[in-house]
Amino acid sequence: MINPISIVSIHSLSALGEGSEEVWQSYSTNRHALKEVVFKGEAAWVAPVSEKNQKLINILRQENQGYRKLDDTVLFAVLSAREAIALAGWENQKDIGVNIGSSRGATGLFEKYYQEFLAEGRTAPLASPTTTLGNISSWVAHDLQTSGPEISHSITCSTALHALLNGIAWLQSGMAAKFLIGGSEAPLTDFTIAQMKALKIYSQEKDDYPSKALDLTKTRNSMVLGEGAVMACLEKGISKRSLAVIEGIGFATEILEHSVSISTEATCFQRSMKMALGDLSPGSVDAIVMHAPGTLQGDLSEFKAVQQVFGSELPFLTTNKWKTGHTLGASGLLSLEMAILMLQHQVFIPLPYNNFKAESKKLHRILVNAVGFGGNAVSILLKHPNEEGFDIY
């Protein structure tokens, strides 16, 4: 990193709740937030946004006529962006860059418009503008009345962390002084659930933990989809508003062995983690929030990559997908939020169903991983903004 970059605020909407206090309370229990919902006559485990979040979205939808036409991916992002901006103290500032991504985009609206087309042979005039990928960032920029660059992209499940990489690049180049980055996903639709089931990776568990993400003893796939949005505000330097400092970044893409999976020892993760570490020793990392989607191959491959990079100096290992489900393009920042909260509270959140070590110790540095279809891995190394005193700002 040329200059230190701080995360000065982060806000999420998910099954865990709204805002850092609710989210931390959810992390502090061994209860998951998954529910069984019927899609096309078949029950499936999913992680919808909390009831409080859904009420807030319903209120936002009624604010003006334009918002009533928007997909949940956009509304999730708008609501979360407002809160992140307020937490950062950026409300009256316009020169802010915006980069928000999504793996699936306006899935619900697209399915609705396509069904109308099949039934009637035509579609509504707003079908195109409300389902384009750029729809999310553009509406957030419109809602905030920002005048900086506005970018959208999709890099499947590593989308949100790629937005973070982009924000860092803009800040380091001097082309922006403040950057809002994020990911938003609303994939709990009939067709999306059917796609995941067709891949034979969806959970059919009936016990206390439907998603056994990072449980290396499981004998079948246990991925569960979730929905939500996470937004974060980035600034150069370190200040008393810094929640965490980005100390290292890593990214890598590997040659595909299969269209939906990574290699046996996740070469892409090995490269991205080594790049994020830079000259630091592996032993300086205290914990890793892993991507770990709950699939047999995905979880094991990433674990093998960690073993290759860290050897005998294995950090604490955890993931949040057993609680939140896999929120696809938003998942990387949801993991980053978990890491920030652990740094702030100096408490490691272990998994309730395996024996990875989790003794009490100070948390100086936490690594966060994400990867998407195509082997697009990102690793972000966070450190506490005040390593000496460990004050909570």
The percent of residues above 70 in pLDDT, for the chain, comes to: 95
Query: What integer pLDDT is reported at residue 162 of this predicted model?
Result: 98
In this structure, the answer to whether residues 32 and 117 fall within a common structural domain is yes
**Do 4 and 238 meet the contact criterion of CB atoms below 8 Å apart?**
yes
Final residue of a structural domain among 190, 218, 236: 236
Confidence band for 258, pLDDT divided at 50, 70 and 90: low
Query: What integer pLDDT is reported at residue 358 of this predicted model?
Result: 64
Reported as a single tens digit per residue, the pLDDT across 192-212 is 999 999 999 999 999 899 999
- In our burial notation (b when 16+ CB lie closer than 10 A, e otherwise), range 255-285 reads eeeeeebbbebbbbbbbbbbbbbeeeebeeb
Reported as a single tens digit per residue, the pLDDT across 276-323 is 999 999 999 999 999 999 999 999 999 999 999 999 999 999 999 999
Query: What integer pLDDT is reported at residue 393 of this predicted model?
Result: 33
In this structure, the answer to whether residues 132 and 280 fall within a common structural domain is no
Reported as a single tens digit per residue, the pLDDT across 134-161 is 999 999 999 999 999 999 999 999 999 9
Query: What integer pLDDT is reported at residue 361 of this predicted model?
Result: 81
The reply to whether 388 falls in a domain is no
Confidence band for 388, pLDDT divided at 50, 70 and 90: very low
Query: What integer pLDDT is reported at residue 357 of this predicted model?
Result: 63
Q: Which residue spans within 186-301 are E strands per DSSP? A: 225-226, 228-236, 244-253, 287-289
44: CB partners within 8 A, 6+ apart: 36, 37, 38, 193, 197, 202
Angle subtended at Cα 40 by Cα 227 and Cα 202, rounded to the nearest 5 degrees: 55
Residue 21 scores a pLDDT above 50: yes
The reply to whether 393 falls in a domain is no
In this structure, the answer to whether residues 185 and 285 fall within a common structural domain is no
Query: What integer pLDDT is reported at residue 263 of this predicted model?
Result: 85
Residue 235 scores a pLDDT above 60: yes
Confidence band for 374, pLDDT divided at 50, 70 and 90: confident
In this structure, the answer to whether residues 119 and 218 fall within a common structural domain is yes
Rg for the chain, CA atoms, rounded: 20
The percent of residues above 90 in pLDDT, for the chain, comes to: 90
C-alpha distances in angstroms, 303 versus 241, 271, 299? Answer: 34, 14, 6
In this structure, the answer to whether residues 224 and 270 fall within a common structural domain is no
Residue 390 scores a pLDDT above 80: no
**Do 14 and 186 meet the contact criterion of CB atoms below 8 Å apart?**
no
Query: What integer pLDDT is reported at residue 392 of this predicted model?
Result: 37
Query: What integer pLDDT is reported at residue 389 of this predicted model?
Result: 38
> Please, what's the largest Cα pairwise distance for the chain?
66
Q: How many CA atoms lie within 13 A of 297 on its CB side?
A: 12
The reply to whether 64 falls in a domain is yes
The range of the structural domain enclosing residue 141 comes to 5-236
Query: What integer pLDDT is reported at residue 8 of this predicted model?
Result: 98
Tokens standing for residue 40 = 């096309």
* CATH number, residue 260: 3.40.47.10
In this structure, the answer to whether residues 49 and 28 fall within a common structural domain is yes
Q: Which of 116-130, 164-178, 276-290, 357-371 has the lowest mean pLDDT?
A: 357-371
β-partners of residue 387 are none
Residue 355 scores a pLDDT above 60: yes
C-alpha distances in angstroms, 304 versus 45, 290, 295? Answer: 28, 12, 14
In this structure, the answer to whether residues 178 and 256 fall within a common structural domain is no
Query: What integer pLDDT is reported at residue 318 of this predicted model?
Result: 96
Query: What integer pLDDT is reported at residue 3 of this predicted model?
Result: 85
Tokens standing for residue 93 = 């500032």
Query: What integer pLDDT is reported at residue 254 of this predicted model?
Result: 87
Residue 260 scores a pLDDT above 60: no
Query: What integer pLDDT is reported at residue 167 of this predicted model?
Result: 98
* Per-chain mean pLDDT for the chain: 94
Helix (H) or strand (E) holding 8: strand 5-14
The reply to whether 122 falls in a domain is yes
Number of domains in the chain: 2
Tokens standing for residue 115 = 């069904």
